[in-house]
Amino acid sequence: MNTYSEVFDVVPSDLDDLDHVNNIRYVEWIQDISKKHWTHVTSGDIQKSMIWVVRNHNITYHKSAVLGDTIDISTYIKSNKGPISTRIVEIRSKTTGEAFVRAVTEWCLLDTKTLRPKRVPKEIKTLFVD
């Protein structure tokens, strides 16, 4: 599997009224890292012909991240079936390795011209497997 990851610090704008990272922010991070992985691995021509939309997010919150925590976020494709890819995103403490969040997201591949679902081509599957 081809894993993509980033490291960054929690900043004040990430926090909610309880001074924890806001749940909406976690969803934004999940979507951002997924898109970055896609654009990092694929060419501009591929990106112009195919686009992903979320079908389902399943997010498990393990522990709250707070201001000053250093986040290690990673993602990979677990499986593909027809037009659906199942992507895993893990958000952990860079310092302790403890899990903050684990997400399993189903993404549906669309043809950019028709906006209809498109079976994940073999060329795309192989880009995301080591």
- 13-55 pLDDT per residue, tens: 999 999 999 999 999 999 999 999 999 999 999 999 999 999 9
Structure confidence at residue 130 (pLDDT): 61
State the Cα–Cα distance between residues 32 and 5, nearest whole angstrom.
Answer: 11
For 83-128, how does the pLDDT look when each residue is reduced to its tens digit (9 = 90+)?
999 999 999 999 999 999 999 999 999 999 999 999 999 999 999 9
Structure confidence at residue 129 (pLDDT): 81
Contact indicator for 108, 55 with CB cutoff of 8 Å? yes
Class of 4-127 in CATH: alpha beta
